[in-house]
């Protein structure tokens, strides 16, 4: 049977030189896509028989990466999401056209308002596939991955929400659980992905314990009394889609159209820095790998430092 389905995945099986060659059509592939892959596999094997090198297409390369290297990564779902975003740009394209597909993707994604950092994560996937096709798979005769350039990422912007603004957005969330997640994000500085994984198993004596299963380092984050009622009800029962929907409605309802959920983490960082917490401690609280990542908030301590120097000056004058 040339095409068969096993555990929801289509497989293609063809005969070549008396041997059976089998390939998977990839996750979520339809029967029509499997048939198209079967025909291409037969054509490729015929070319090989004639001593020719078969021409690969980008979709085939993307599927191979998804079924292979992607599944060995720490967060395969995140990369699968990047791959889905690339589908309109790889369909019907030859593998050799990966640099042009990358340029097309940049133009469209920039027009939709995506940040250079987000676009680069997706373009980097195309570059990785092109590099593997050349260095590991033997699908390319030239290193076309070198022609795929990322965008400059001089796009860092921080918007520091005030406590009243955070509460206004949280209160405007149609889903009460989403509102509590907004509050908890600002009161702990946890990343969105970390918040979704929280349960009572993470709570010990007024501290949220995080392991290394996600982004960042293992760390212990004390939570303030304002977060206690939310922490006692963990886990918060809502999906990522429900949070996104509530968040979008809340930020528009409050007139804060420009804010992102990650700005809640920046708000937390700004509050602790302005409270006089040393940057080394802020680094540990946020789970930053290096102090340089935390130093982006150093300017926020200027007022606090000025007050400290004035206090010192007053003390010195009393001694005279």
The dihedral sign for the CA sequence 85, 88, 92, 94: negative
Reduce the secondary structure of 186-198 to three states and give it as a string: HHHCCCHHHHHHC
Residue 278: Cβ within 10 Å count: 12
Band of residue 18 on the pLDDT scale cut at 50, 70, 90? low
The dihedral sign for the CA sequence 67, 70, 76, 79: negative
Q: What is the pLDDT of residue 15?
A: 66
pTM score of the predicted model: 0.53
Q: What is the pLDDT of residue 116?
A: 85
The crossing angle, in degrees rounded to 10, of helices 98-111 and 76-90 is 100
Contacts of 247 (CB under 8 A, 6+ apart): 169, 173, 178, 182, 261
CATH classification code of 163-306: 1.10.443.10
Task: Name the least confident of 85-94, 200-209, 224-233, 270-279.
Answer: 270-279
Q: Looking at the predicted structure, is the pLDDT value of residue 225 above 60?
A: yes
Q: Where are the alpha helices (DSSP H) in 136-224?
A: 163-172, 176-188, 192-197
Contact present, 189 and 285 (Cβ < 8 Å): yes
CA distance 244 to 239: 9
What backbone torsions phi and psi does residue 262 show, to the nearest 5 degrees? Answer: -65, -20
Task: Name the least confident of 14-28, 113-127, 269-283.
Answer: 14-28
Task: Name the least confident of 1-10, 40-49, 245-254, 300-309.
Answer: 300-309
pLDDT, tens digit, 9 for 90 and up, residues 273-317: 888 888 888 888 888 878 777 777 776 665 554 554 555 555 555
The torsion region of residue 216 among left (phi > 0), alpha (psi -120 to 50) and beta comes to: left
Strand 207-210 relative to strand 203-204: parallel, antiparallel, unpaired? antiparallel
Q: What is the pLDDT of residue 276?
A: 83
Q: Looking at the predicted structure, is the pLDDT value of residue 54 above 90?
A: no
- Give buried/exposed letters for 86-107 (b at 16+ CB in 10 A, else e): beebbeebbbbbbbebbeebbe
* Residue whose C-alpha is closest to residue 122's, from 138, 131, 109, 140: 109
What 3-state DSSP class applies to 139? Answer: coil
CA distance 294 to 290: 7
């Amino acid at each position: 049977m040339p095409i068969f389905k096993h555990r929801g995945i289509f497989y293609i099986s063809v005969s070549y030189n008396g041997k059976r060659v089998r390939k998977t059509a990839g996750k979520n592939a339809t029967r029509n896509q499997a048939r198209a892959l079967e025909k291409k596999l037969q054509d490729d094997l015929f070319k090989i028989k004639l001593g020719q090198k078969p021409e690969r297409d980008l979709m085939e390369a993307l599927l191979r990466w998804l079924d292979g290297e992607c599944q060995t990564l720490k967060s395969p779902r995140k990369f699968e999401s990047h791959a889905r975003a690339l589908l309109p740009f790889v369909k019907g394209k030859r593998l050799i056209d990966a640099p042009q597909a990358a340029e097309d993707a940049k133009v469209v994604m920039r027009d939709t308002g995506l940040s250079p950092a987000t676009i680069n994560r997706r373009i980097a996937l195309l570059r990785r596939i092109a590099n593997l096709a050349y260095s590991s798979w033997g699908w390319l005769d030239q290193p076309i991955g070198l022609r795929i350039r990322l965008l400059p990422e001089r796009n860092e912007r921080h918007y520091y929400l005030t406590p009243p603004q955070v509460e206004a957005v949280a209160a405007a969330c149609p889903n009460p659980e989403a509102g509590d997640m907004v509050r908890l994000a600002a009161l702990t500085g946890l990343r969105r992905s970390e918040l979704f994984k929280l349960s009572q198993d993470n709570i010990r004596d007024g501290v949220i314990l995080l392991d290394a299963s996600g982004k960042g380092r293992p760390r212990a984050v004390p939570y303030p009394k304002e977060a206690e009622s939310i922490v006692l009800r963990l886990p918060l029962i809502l999906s990522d889609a429900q949070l996104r929907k509530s968040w979008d409605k809340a930020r528009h309802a409050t007139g804060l159209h420009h804010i992102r959920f990650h700005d809640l983490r920046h708000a937390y960082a700004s509050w602790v820095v302005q409270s006089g917490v040393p940057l080394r401690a802020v680094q540990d609280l946020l789970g930053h790998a290096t102090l340089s990542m935390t130093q982006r908030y150093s300017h926020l301590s200027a007022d606090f430092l000025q007050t400290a120097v004035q206090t010192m000056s007053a003390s010195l004058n009393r001694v005279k």
